[in-house]
């Protein structure tokens, strides 16, 4: 399908100045318009039929027109922005030597030739010339208009520039060469005003200095790039690592790479992911549609499928999965954005790729071999294919462009038929057809009409802007991909993160940022993992420090740069929030800003959507990452000014903003510099979130308040306010990260310090209880006992029932895990004598768990140890019922685990499995990292207890390691004892003993002596299995003595039975 264009004024002027008016119709027919005039390359002009002389005249006329335009163009003013750019710094090799050898006038000729060639070649790839000084040139890619492949364009441009300079001929016979450095990173770029220099183009940031330093490392003809540029272009080019270098002006050494050559990949997707692509998530219905079309094509009649969707939505991954499912490698034609004006560039690129992109002689040989073996081609077709591949043949060429096009089309269709004859049914994939040139679209149009003649499935992938011909509607199956749902997106995050296990809260944040777009999900997940130090705990806060991943910066920014006039409104909207109205924009915009027109443009481009039209329309950024990109492009100073303007409008009750939530007011006050107002609203927002049990928003608000409080002058009022915030954030930390987390311990310790200094006894008690909880769940029973005794001392000085119940709760739990059953029973009796339902509810905000249910849970465990099995089960079930009635998810999950701790020892595997699966479901839904992993441990024990132990020891060890990263070691010894006995029963004796020592000995040292008799009994069982009866009897005797000492009836009976069996055996 040929696109019909009206005459292009600039092209008409160039053709007139070059005396080439006869080509005007051809330029129109080939889709060459003013927008791509300056991107035309010499090979493209040759393909259009221009001779060498005509091409030179065309270039001179083009330069004249640019000069004329520059002299009449009014000065354009723009503001500075923060941008992610790829910068190129290059210079001529041996320029000093040339200056010594040549007269200045002769040198000027050489330098002008070099500069014209170098700058001209670089500009063909869409760069911006930053400056030229002497023989040095700096250009950048990504501003004023970003492209999604800016880093690749930069590297490709430099490779072509070096080749062009090396091939230059001059009257002096001087061979010229170039060296270059390329770096990618964040800079400030644009027009910056200062009193001394006025307004001028400006660029600052270490990236420019880095590119210059890298250029200094390059040998003649080499391109040296930074690690960030390498990361963005790996797969598209072949590189040679050049090690780590100390660079002048840089504190740390930098890894650098030499660009060897471009890799001609079959598709952009393969170049980006290589063999590391994650398996397809969801899309099974779409995959079934494609496999059905393949089956129909195998019957002899071709089929056509259009796979559409936004960038990154998963089109190429779906096609890759089709290829893997049917077991057929596709014949792929990749359309490329920077070659949209080159006729048949996807086909030309594939011809060169399969030929190895070698010398013209090699390509000629490869194509000749194909023609000789092709069933539907003859020698007369060879020149046509060689011409398509850009190889000079010397054969006469068809002067009539239309006849030439028809002949080429005929040869290509017969080539396709020959491939089908050789390979059977063919899977032909045309990737990114929205970037296809007009001639390629004509070929696809003809192929669609002739599909019935070929056993081929043609799959065209495209973005929403592609409009297929009308007759495709009746021939093509349409597959339009939409964003992944939360379940599928979660699964994709987990697959990308393997072998790491990310907390559910963090997974949710990634999904929220990525809006279900698979590419965004993958890159955000990788960015999270890249931020994690080795062996560091994984928590949701890591996302707070992340910016938009570098791999997405250019793609996202290019969407905004396409709408130059609307971008300022998008930037203002990004400061307001994910959603905004025209009224809120007007409240902060300059009076002369055309807000309505900009919003229409943003909507038309799909950058924002209308999400509400009740009253006034609400506009929402289509993707959170687009909002982040627009926001990050503003200078910090500019952002602060807008935030301050919004904050004052909010505080003044501006009607455009309605009734804002406290966190909205706090956010803008904070970033606008109104610290006192920010703290007050952050605390209000946090307390409201905590009242709704919205723990993560509460944490975010309280942490923001603490950050601002830290900048205030120290005094009693400040300390009192901080104490209030620290005590508020504690229960939220407990619910999200687990009671043993460092965040809980550090916050409780700080609160104790503040309460002590302020003489606040009530708060000191509460903070001490939280510190006890932290030590207890961390398995630090000795330290927990210290805190329990401190609580008991404070409770003894008061008749407050709350203090006495909590002190009894802390001591009963600690005594139980220290194996002190009599003391545990005394404290339980004390607590049950005081606790009431009303008292239990009053304590919930601080403890984040029901004290009644918790006491029942530990009572059930104690009853089982005493051999009172029916009462133990009754207490367990009552604890769960009490928790269900409270409708408090953290408490329910915690209690279901706590009251079931005796089930593995009782061998109640089915009860354990059912209880833990329910707890696991709630933990998954609520995002409780610590409790989530604990459920995995118990479910693993249930699986092994029911006979399927394969992989269980490894999974449980991994869960223990994950919990340990959050500071937790609670219950590890008792769970390992059960697991080791199961491992012994399955013959894995040595590993069972090794894990017993590794896990239990540190537990004893921390004071967690519970079930130590069982530790020795299991060791006795292991030594007996190994045939060492003396050692086994010694362990069994030790088990019996310890069980009698702690009055553990069940453990004493088990130890005695073990000893009796060993004695009989001996």
- pLDDT over 80 (residue 1066): no
Q: Give residue 91's Cα distance to chain centre.
A: 37
> What is the number of other CB atoms lying within 10 angstroms of the CB of residue 1027?
8
- pLDDT one-digit tens code per residue, 887-911: 888 889 889 999 999 999 999 999 9
Question: Is 938 a domain residue?
Answer: no
Per-residue pLDDT at 266: 57
Both 349 and 441 in one domain: the answer is: yes
Question: Which distant-in-sequence residues (6+ apart) come within 8 Å of 755 by Cβ?
Answer: 723, 761, 763, 764, 767
Do 644 and 672 contact (CB within 8 A), yes or no?
A: yes
Cα–Cα dist 681/663, whole Å = 6
Q: Which two tokens stand for residue 594?
A: 């055309």
Per-residue pLDDT at 767: 95
Q: What is the mean pLDDT of residues 602-630?
A: 82
Share of residues in the chain with pLDDT > 90 (%): 45
Per-residue pLDDT at 159: 94
Q: Which residue reads 């013959």 in tokens?
A: 987
Span of 146-160, 518-532, 694-708, 1046-1060 with lowest mean pLDDT: 518-532
Q: What is the mean pLDDT of residues 869-880?
A: 96
Do 483 and 384 contact (CB within 8 A), yes or no?
A: no
Domain that holds residue 313: 276-480
Both 336 and 398 in one domain: the answer is: yes
Both 421 and 567 in one domain: the answer is: no
- pLDDT one-digit tens code per residue, 235-254: 889 999 999 998 888 888 99
Phi, psi torsion values for 799, nearest 5 degrees: -90, 10
* Residue at which a domain ends, from 505, 529, 546: 546
* Sheet of 618-621, strand order: 579-581, 618-621, 608-612
Residue 43: pLDDT band by 50, 70, 90 thresholds?
A: low
Question: Is 751 a domain residue?
Answer: no
Q: Which two tokens stand for residue 121?
A: 């070649």
Phi, psi torsion values for 358, nearest 5 degrees: -95, -155
- Of residues 538 and 564, the one with the higher pLDDT is 564
**Count of domains for the chain:** 5
Question: Is 371 a domain residue?
Answer: yes
SS3 content of the chain, % helix, strand, coil (to 5): 65, 10, 25
Both 600 and 461 in one domain: the answer is: no
Question: Which distant-in-sequence residues (6+ apart) come within 8 Å of 110 by Cβ?
Answer: 98, 102, 170, 172, 174, 176
Both 474 and 619 in one domain: the answer is: no
| Number of Cα atoms under 13 Å in the Cβ half of residue 173 | 0
Question: Is 975 a domain residue?
Answer: no
- The domain that holds 66 is classified in CATH as 1.10.150.50
- Look at the alpha carbons of 754, 757, 762, 768 in this order and tell me if their dihedral is positive or negative: positive
The gap between the terminal CA atoms of the chain, to the nearest Å, is: 93
- pLDDT one-digit tens code per residue, 549-590: 777 777 778 878 877 778 899 999 999 998 999 999 999 998
- pLDDT over 80 (residue 547): no
> H or E stretch including 461?
strand 456-462
In the chain, DSSP finds a helix count (H) and a strand count (E) of 49, 16
Query: What ranges in 102-226 are assigned the alpha helix state H?
Result: 104-123, 150-166, 206-217
- The domain that holds 595 is classified in CATH as 1.10.10.10
Residue 844: pLDDT band by 50, 70, 90 thresholds?
A: confident
Residue 267: pLDDT band by 50, 70, 90 thresholds?
A: low
Both 85 and 190 in one domain: the answer is: yes
- pLDDT over 50 (residue 288): yes
- pLDDT over 60 (residue 1065): yes
Which pTM was predicted?
A: 0.72
Both 124 and 23 in one domain: the answer is: no
Per-residue pLDDT at 308: 93
DSSP code for 674: -
Question: Is 749 a domain residue?
Answer: no
Cα–Cα dist 665/643, whole Å = 10
* Residue at which a domain ends, from 522, 546, 570: 546
Do 585 and 595 contact (CB within 8 A), yes or no?
A: yes
Question: Is 1063 a domain residue?
Answer: no
* Residue at which a domain ends, from 262, 289, 311: 262
Both 321 and 207 in one domain: the answer is: no
Question: Is 286 a domain residue?
Answer: yes
Encode 864-882: b = buried (16+ Cβ within 10 Å), e = exposed: bbbebeeebbebbebbbeb
């Amino acid at each position: 399908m040929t696109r019909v264009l009206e005459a292009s004024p600039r092209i008409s002027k160039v053709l007139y100045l070059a005396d080439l008016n006869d080509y005007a119709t051809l330029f129109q027919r080939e889709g060459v318009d003013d927008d791509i005039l300056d991107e035309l390359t010499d090979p493209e002009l040759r393909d259009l039929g221009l001779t060498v002389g005509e091409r030179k005249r065309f270039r001179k006329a083009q330069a004249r027109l640019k000069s004329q335009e520059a002299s009449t163009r009014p000065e354009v003013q723009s503001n500075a922005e923060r941008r992610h750019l790829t910068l190129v710094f290059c210079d001529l090799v041996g320029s000093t030597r040339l200056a010594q050898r040549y007269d200045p006038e002769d040198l000027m000729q050489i330098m002008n030739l070099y500069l014209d060639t170098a700058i001209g070649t670089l500009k063909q790839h869409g760069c911006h010339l930053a400056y030229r000084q002497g023989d040095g040139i700096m250009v950048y890619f990504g501003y004023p208009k970003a492209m999604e492949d800016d880093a690749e364009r930069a590297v490709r441009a430099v490779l072509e520039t070096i080749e062009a300079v090396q091939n230059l001929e001059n009257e002096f016979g001087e061979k010229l060469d170039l060296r270059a450095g390329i770096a990618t990173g964040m800079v400030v770029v644009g027009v910056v005003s200062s009193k001394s220099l006025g307004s001028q183009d400006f660029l600052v940031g270490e990236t420019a200095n880095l590119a210059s330093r890298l250029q200094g490392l390059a040998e003649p003809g080499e391109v040296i790039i930074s690690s960030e540029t390498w990361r963005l272009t790996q797969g598209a080019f072949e590189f040679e690592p050049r090690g780590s270098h100390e660079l002048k002006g840089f504190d740390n050494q930098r890894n650098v790479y030499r660009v060897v050559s471009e890799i001609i990949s079959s598709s952009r997707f393969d170049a980006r992911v290589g063999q590391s692509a994650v398996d397809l998530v969801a899309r099974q219905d779409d995959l079934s549609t494609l496999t059905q079309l393949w089956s129909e094509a195998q019957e002899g009649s071709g089929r056509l499928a259009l796979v559409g969707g936004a960038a990154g939505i998963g089109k190429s991954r779906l096609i890759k999965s089709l290829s893997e499912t049917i077991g057929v490698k596709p014949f792929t034609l990749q359309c490329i954005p920077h070659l949209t004006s080159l006729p048949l560039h996807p086909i030309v690129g594939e011809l060169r790729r399969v030929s190895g992109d070698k010398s013209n002689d090699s390509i000629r040989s490869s194509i000749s071999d194909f023609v000789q073996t092709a069933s539907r081609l003859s020698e007369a077709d060879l020149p046509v294919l060689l011409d398509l591949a850009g190889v000079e043949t010397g054969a006469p060429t068809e002067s009539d462009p239309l006849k030439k096009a028809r002949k080429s089309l005929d040869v290509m269709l017969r080539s396709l038929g020959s491939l089908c004859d050789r390979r059977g049914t063919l899977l032909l994939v045309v990737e990114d057809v929205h970037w296809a040139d007009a001639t390629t679209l004509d070929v696809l149009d003809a192929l669609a009409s002739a599909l019935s003649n070929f056993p081929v499935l043609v799959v065209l992938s495209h973005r929403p802007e592609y409009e297929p011909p009308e007759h495709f509607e009746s021939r093509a199956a349409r597959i339009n991909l939409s964003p992944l749902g939360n379940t599928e997106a979660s699964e994709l995050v987990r697959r990308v993160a393997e072998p790491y296990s990310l907390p559910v809260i963090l997974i949710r944040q990634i999904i929220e940022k990525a809006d279900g777009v698979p590419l965004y999900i993958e890159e955000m997940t990788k960015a999270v993992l890249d931020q994690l130090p080795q062996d560091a705990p994984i928590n949701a806060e890591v996302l707070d420090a992340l910016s938009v991943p570098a791999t997405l910066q250019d793609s996202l920014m290019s969407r905004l740069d396409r709408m130059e006039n609307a971008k300022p409104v998008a930037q203002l909207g990004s400061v307001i929030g994910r959603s905004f109205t025209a009224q809120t924009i007007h409240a902060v915009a300059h009076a002369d800003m055309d807000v309505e027109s900009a919003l229409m443009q943003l909507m038309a481009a799909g950058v924002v959507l209308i999400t509400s039209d009740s009253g006034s329309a609400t506009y929402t950024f289509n993707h959170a990452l687009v909002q982040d990109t627009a926001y990050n492009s503003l200078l910090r100073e500019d952002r602060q000014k807008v935030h301050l303007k919004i904050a004052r409008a909010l505080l003044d009750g501006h009607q455009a903003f309605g009734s804002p939530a406290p966190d909205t007011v706090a956010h803008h006050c904070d970033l606008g510099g109104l610290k006192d107002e920010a703290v007050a609203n952050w605390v209000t927002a946090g307390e409201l979130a905590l009242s709704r049990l919205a723990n993560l928003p509460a944490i975010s608000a309280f942490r923001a308040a603490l950050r601002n409080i830290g900048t205030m002058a120290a005094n009693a009022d400040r300390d009192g306010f901080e104490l209030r915030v620290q005590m508020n954030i504690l229960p939220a930390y407990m619910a999200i990260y687990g009671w043993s987390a460092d965040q809980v311990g550090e916050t409780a310790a700080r609160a104790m310090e503040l309460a002590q200094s302020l003489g606040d006894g009530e708060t000191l008690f509460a903070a001490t209880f939280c510190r006890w909880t932290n030590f207890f769940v961390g398995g630090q029973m000795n330290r927990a006992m210290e805190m329990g005794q401190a609580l008991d001392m404070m409770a003894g000085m008061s008749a407050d029932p709350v203090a006495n119940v909590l002190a009894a709760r802390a001591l009963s739990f600690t005594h139980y895990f220290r194996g002190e059953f009599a003391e545990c029973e005394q404290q339980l009796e004390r607590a049950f004598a005081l606790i009431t339902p009303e008292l239990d509810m009053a304590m919930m905000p601080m403890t984040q768990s029901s004290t009644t249910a918790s006491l029942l849970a530990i009572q059930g465990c104690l009853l089982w140890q005493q051999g009172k099995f029916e009462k133990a089960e009754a207490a367990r079930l009552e604890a769960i019922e009490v928790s269900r009635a409270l409708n408090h998810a953290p408490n329910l999950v915690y209690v279901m685990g706590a009251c079931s701790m005796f089930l593995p020892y009782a061998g109640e595997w089915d009860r354990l499995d059912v209880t833990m699966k329910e707890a696991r479901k709630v933990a998954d839904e609520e995002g409780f990292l610590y409790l989530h992993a604990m459920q995995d441990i118990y479910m693993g024990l249930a699986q092994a207890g029911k006979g399927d132990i394969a992989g269980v020891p490894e999974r449980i060890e991994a869960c223990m390691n994950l919990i340990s990263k959050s500071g937790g070691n609670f219950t590890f010894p008792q769970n390992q004892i059960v697991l080791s006995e199961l491992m012994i029963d399955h013959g894995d004796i040595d590993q069972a003993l090794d894990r017993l020592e590794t896990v239990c000995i540190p537990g004893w040292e921390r004071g967690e002596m519970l079930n130590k008799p069982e530790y020795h009994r299991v060791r006795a069982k292991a030594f007996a299995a190994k045939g060492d009866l003396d050692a086994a009897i010694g362990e069994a005797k030790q088990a019996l003595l310890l069980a009698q000492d702690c009055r553990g009836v069940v453990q004493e009976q088990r130890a005695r039975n073990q000893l009796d069996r060993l004695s009989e055996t001996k």
